[in-house]
Structure formats: C-alpha cells, structure tokens
Amino acid sequence: MASVSKLTEADVQILGFSVTDLRFPTSLDGVGSDAMHVGTNGSHPYVQLKTNHGELTGEGIAFSNGRGSELICMALEIFAKRVVGKTMQELTRNMGRTWRYMVADSKPVWRIVCDMSPEEVVQCIDFRYITDVITPEESIEMLKSTQEGKDARMNEALGNTAVPAYTTSPGWMAFTGDRMKEVLRETIEQGYTVFKFKVGTSVEKDREKLTAVRDVLGYDNGYQIMIDANQVWSVPEAIKYMKQLVEFKPVFIEEPTNPDDVLGHAAIRKALKPYGVGVATGEAAQNRITFKQLLQAEATDVCQIDAVRLGSVNECLAVMLMALKYKIPCVPHNGAMGLTELTSHLSTIDYVAVSGRKSMLENADSHRENLRHPSKIINAHYVTPLAPGYSTGYTDEALEKYTYPNGSFWKSELGQQIMAQPTGGEL
C-alpha cells in the first residue's frame, strides 16, 4: 500500500460510508439551555466516508437538539451515496461544481482555503441567486484588495493569535446566582473579556441576572457582554423587552425573534440603534440567500454563520464575501460537542483570506472528552488547528456510549429516563 504522503487525489476513492446518530445528555447539566430550548440533548449526526485506503476516512457532523436527529441521519445517507465511487480528484478539481452537484485534503481546511488565490476561492462558490448583491468578478477584486497583510495574518494564525475567543460558559439559562458568578469569575481568570448571557424568560429575572453580571464586571473595566434570546420574542415584544435591558450595555441582542423574519430583525435593529445595541442573527439560516436578504435589509450587525446548518465551507465563503461588501463582521455561531472545532477553521479563513478583519468566536466547552480533535484556548485565543481535515471526529468510546438509541448510555437506567421524559410540547 502506498504511503499516505505519496498518494494523489486520483488514488483515493470513496467506497462507502457510515452514519451514526450521536446524542449527548446535555439535559442533565443544563449546557445549551435557553429560553426556547429546555431539556434538550445536544446531538451530532456523524458521517464517516470510507476510502480504498483504510487509514483515510472523511468525517463530518450536523447538529440538532436531539428531536429530529433521525431525519438528519436519513438525509446524510442520501447525500453520502452521491460521493460513493467518486475519487478525490473528481470531487476537488472544481469545488464549485461539486457543491452544486451535492445540493445541488492533507492540510487543515482553513489552510487549504487560505493557500488559494482569489480566483480559486471564488471558484468554490455557487453565485446563483446572489449576483444581485455580489458577482464573481467583484469578489475577485475584493479578495485581491485584502491580500495586503495576508502573510502577517497567516503568521498570527500560526502563532495562535488570529481568533480571539469569547465565552458563554457563565451565561447558560440554567446558571443563576452564585453558580453564574462563580463561572464568570473563573472565565475572567482564564483571560476572557467578552461574555454572552441567555435571556428571555422574564424581564425581572433578566434584570436581576444582568445586574449581578455588572456587579462583577463593572462598566469601565474593559469587559463586554452580549445577550441571546434564542428566537423567543415577537418583534414588538423584542423591542419592548430590550428597552428594559439596554442600561446594561450589551453589544448586541442575538436572535431576538424568528430567524426567518428578515424585516422583523430590521425593525428591531432600527429601534435599538439609538441605544447603542446591535442585532446579531444567522445561526439558523440555512443558505446564502437568507444572509443576502438580511444584509440588503440592514437587518443585522453581525453575520452568525453556522458551520453545519449552511452545509459546507463553500456556502460560508459566499456569506463571508457578502458580509465583507456590507462591512458586517462574520462571527460564527458556536456550540459544544464538535461545532466549536469547525468554526475555528471558519474564523481563521475569514480573517486570513477573506476580510482581513479580526473578529471573535464563541467558546462553549462541554463534552470535549468525546472529541478526537478538541479545540483549545490559550490566553483567550483559539489555538489554530494544524491537523489535516476539518477537526471532526469522535472517540470510539463516545460512539459506543452515545449512539442513539442503542449506545450504552442510552440503554442505561438514566438514559431510559431521559428518553421517557416529556418533550415540553405535549398537549
């Protein structure tokens, strides 16, 4: 068998795949809880592509709150069948064509993109439906203009200072009072200066929480906060509710209303702008067209691309370029159990190869012992991943324990209790 280092794209063929319904019992510790999602279990449908070289396996994940993961697994099986029999040469010689075919790498993903020329980056993107906002020719010129300083930004990436991190660890809805303050102080000691908190259950509780937050952080000590409602309000409710929280000086309110309501987000943004509070959204957007409309309508101050909901790096690149044109930062949505690892690539790509603007990336650390390539934070910055691929993959122990519904955890007494619990949506 040829060594991996001597293989060419034409030598590697995808022969088969496996799809695993992987679920983690996050309902036990409240990680991921918010005003909209209570008692859910963080889930990552997990696909592995098998090749004709046993040591080479392609891996990817999707994300849900548990209910409905079986549907995602069915979709993954449908999509995976489309690449069986294909060689890597067929799939990579024109990535834009491959993307259209699907919806139709010996380097880390971020480095593959960052090593591309502007023309090669643009070739990765399907511009159908977005040429009224940005064209391939315009994109090439924009990318050429951000080439200046790229070598220095690459050195920052290699020095682990390209992607500043902020944390949601003290901000989960289930964390209140002394527990919230304890975690907040712990993250301050770790070097964090930007924090996000879940809101939306009641004005009184949120004012109490944010008062406690500002008691710890103060207003003039270099700390920033953001707040996240996870879609819980109508547009009028969001405006009324937020006017009672603006005194705590959040940088933005994230997902204040239904994620498909572009004009609703625009109305909220307009109403909050005089108070110095922005709007962030996009984590539930499933394609570049939604982001196009958010930008056209001046409905967001932050594009929160989601690595798995958008479906590919290609689609994320399209959004990054549109955001660059509108001078709106891309701050990927993040979550634990595997998503953080993907988004560290995306933020690095945006900074080094696309916008040249340093932004920030959420860190939500949970169940990292189950990951084969867990992200790392040093001095409140992401350690840039250097291993080949997209930093995706779960340990054998995690697969044995959390595969749903027959993993050892889900077959245990506690797992069975969780599966039998009401979902919160019963009549």
* H helix and E strand count, the chain: 17, 12
Which residue, among 232, 276, 223, 222, has the nearest Cα to 254 in the 3D structure? Answer: 232
- Laid out side by side, the sheet with 224-228 consists of 302-303, 278-281, 250-254, 224-228, 194-198, 165-167, 361-363
| Whether 267 and 297 share a structural domain | yes
What string of pLDDT tens digits covers the 427 residues of the chain? 456 668 899 999 999 999 999 999 988 888 878 887 777 888 999 999 999 998 899 999 998 877 889 999 998 998 899 999 999 999 999 988 888 788 754 689 999 999 999 999 999 999 999 999 999 999 999 999 999 999 999 999 999 999 999 999 899 888 888 899 999 999 999 999 999 999 999 999 999 999 999 999 999 999 999 999 999 999 999 999 999 999 999 999 999 999 999 999 999 999 999 999 999 999 999 999 999 999 999 999 999 999 999 989 999 999 999 999 999 999 999 877 888 899 999 999 999 999 999 999 998 777 889 999 999 999 999 999 998 889 999 999 999 999 999 999 999 999 999 999 876 544 4
Domain match, 140 and 168 both: yes
Residues 271 and 383 in one domain: yes
Same domain, 186 and 83: no
Residues 94 and 177 both lie in one domain: no
Domain boundary among 74, 103, 132: 103
In a domain, 299, yes or no: yes
Q: What is the pLDDT of residue 407?
A: 97
Kindly report the CA angle at 77 between 67 and 96, in degrees rounded to 5?
110
Clarify whether residues 225 and 176 are in a common domain: yes
d(Cα 198, Cα 185) in Å, to the nearest integer? 17
CATH number at residue 214: 3.20.20.120
Active-site residue (options: 333, 345, 367, 401) = 333
Give the closest residue to 314 by CA, choosing from 145, 156, 91: 91
pTM of the complete model: 0.81
Q: What is the pLDDT of residue 377?
A: 93
400 in a structural domain:
no
Residue 426: its pLDDT value, please?
47
Enclosing H/E stretch for 320: helix 313-325
Same domain, 79 and 181: no
Based on the structure, what is the number of domains in the chain? 2
Strands (E), 276-346: 278-281, 302-303
Counting every residue, how long is the chain?
427
For residue 113, tell me if it sits in a domain.
Answer: no
**Is position 198 annotated as part of the catalytic site?**
yes
Position 88 scores a pLDDT of 94
| Domain membership flag for residue 297 | yes
* Phi, psi of 56, rounded to the nearest 5 degrees: -105, 120
Would residue 54 count as lying in a domain?
Answer: yes
277 found inside a domain: yes
300 in the same domain as 228: yes
CA distances from 312 to 76, 132, 389 (A): 13, 22, 13
Does 162 lie in the same domain as 43? no
pLDDT of residue 313: 95
Considering the domain architecture, whether residues 63 and 173 belong to the same structural domain is answered as: no
319 and 365 belong to one structural domain: yes
Which one of 44, 196, 198, 265 is the catalytic residue? 198
Asked if residue 179 and residue 75 are part of one domain, the reply reads: no
Please give the pLDDT value at position 425: 47
Q: Please give the residue range of the domain that contains residue 53.
A: 13-28+38-103
Any catalytic annotation for residue 333?
A: yes
Q: Give the orientation angle of helix 95-102 with respect to helix 313-325, to 10 degrees.
A: 110
